[in-house]
């Protein structure tokens, strides 16, 4: 029985309503599933990110670090702070990309990663010749 994908990642929270509102605002998507005061699940790409009550979580579980991926990080720092979270750190990883680290309103860490933009493609010699006038 080989593992073939990540089904979900969840963070244990104390106030499901407040945390759901925070992540809905920061992620820009609404939950796809809610189980009363026990679980709130967001569909992101081919996997799920969820908020779990203590009662619903695995015995002894404590927290998580979820890394979300975005097309860019512009304005995200301000959005997280306005929504009640806090900015922790930024890390540039060269050609790999950049990552911002945050804490949500309950102090749970999360990160948002953006791939580096590919370098601009230099014009080909043929296109330079077509653009020149003699």
pLDDT given at position 50: 94
pLDDT given at position 6: 76
pLDDT given at position 76: 94
Tokens in use for 119?
A: 């370098």
- The reported pTM is 0.70
pLDDT given at position 81: 97
CB 116 within 8 A of CB 98: yes
pLDDT under 70 in the chain at which residues? 1, 3, 63, 126-134
pLDDT given at position 39: 94
For 20-45, the pLDDT digits (tens) are 999 999 999 999 999 999 999 999 98
Nearest CA to 51 out of 105, 112, 5 is that of 105
CB 100 within 8 A of CB 111: yes
CB 68 within 8 A of CB 49: yes
Q: Which CATH architecture has domain 8-118?
A: Roll (3.10)
pLDDT given at position 108: 85
């Amino acid at each position: 029985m080989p593992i073939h994908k990540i089904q979900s990642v969840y963070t244990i929270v104390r106030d499901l309503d407040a945390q759901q509102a925070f992540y809905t605002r920061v992620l820009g998507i609404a939950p796809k599933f809610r189980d009363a005061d026990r679980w709130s699940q967001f569909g992101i790409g081919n996997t799920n990110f969820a908020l779990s009550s203590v009662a619903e979580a695995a015995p002894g579980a404590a927290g998580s670090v979820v890394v979300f991926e975005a097309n860019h990080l512009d304005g995200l720092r301000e959005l997280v702070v306005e929504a009640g979270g806090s900015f922790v750190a930024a890390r540039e990883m060269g050609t790999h990309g950049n990552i911002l680290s945050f804490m949500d309103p309950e102090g749970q860490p999360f990160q948002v990663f953006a791939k580096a933009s590919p370098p601009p493609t230099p014009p080909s010699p043929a296109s330079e010749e077509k653009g020149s006038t003699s």
